[in-house]
Chain A
Amino acid sequence: MAFVSFKGPVILDVPADPPAMFIVRELVGRISSRIGFEDEATDKLVLAVDEACTNVIRHAYKNSNDKRIVITFTLSMDCFEIMIRDFGTGADPSTFQGRDLKQIRPGGLGIHFIKSAVDKIEYDTPPGGGMLLKMTKFMPRQEKAQN
């Protein structure tokens, strides 16, 4: 299968409702595979975006499912960028820490999964409130996207 590239961002606007997250996973998986990431990298990316949205639902929106999450996908020659925008209660990114993985207890894995999947993570607090999480994954060198 030939890898694809596309110009301009793709924007997905979904309800912040757990049953809707399969839509996000399906789209991330499809885009990731089609732009040239291997299965393992794609699986990690799907998990990372899912966990980021889960964090938004749980923490920024306090499980209130009438809110929205806007996800923007941008592809360039060098990288694939995924931005996750919420409009909830902002938080201090320095407090976003996973647990020590040597401890066997429930919870605290989401941040670890996100960090494992991407090369760069940035947080911003845009005007209008909420948070913007920007995840960047560099494209594999040997597999340049083709038109």
Chain B
Amino acid sequence: MKIQTDERKPGVFVVSLAGDLDMSSSPQVRNILLPIFRKKVSHIVVDLTDVPYIDSSGIATFVEALQLSRKDKVRFSLAGACRRVESIFDLAYLKNIFEMAPDVNQLIDGEQGR
């Protein structure tokens, strides 16, 4: 799994993932994603454009991030999920729980940052 973190605007972080998000890669994503909530952050977007597959451990990582975002009042969104990944969120009854958009720019354009 390739993971890239980029602060696009002050307080707006984009975490881009590439590869399958499964039991072997989820701990790596978790270790990078969750500490971002401890920074001066207003919005975290995970870019899933290059993620062809996600399993329950990947979903669990995002649920954990969502819980943190609610506690810390940080906006947390997912972008670019392919049909297959989106259908797995749907199967878990989580598609409407997460803020999801077709691409990152749609989520952060016009956002001022912190």
**Interface set of A (CB-CB < 8 Å, partner B):** 18-19, 21-22, 25, 40, 43-44, 46-47, 50-51, 54, 57-58, 101-102, 104-107, 109-110, 112-113, 116
Contact = CB atoms under 8 A, between A and B. Distances in A.
Contact of A109 (B56, B64, B66): B56
A105 B63 contact: yes
B32 to A, nearest CB: 17
Interface size of B as a range: 20 to 34
Interface string B90-114: 0111100100000000000000000
A104 B60 contact: no
B55 A44 contact: no
Interface stretch (B4-12, B18-26, B40-48): B18-26
- Most chain B CB within a 10 A radius of its CB, from A44, A105, A106, A110: A106
B23 A18 contact: yes
A18 B67 CA distance: 26
A21 B22 contact: yes
Contacts of A44: 91
A114 to B, nearest CB: 10
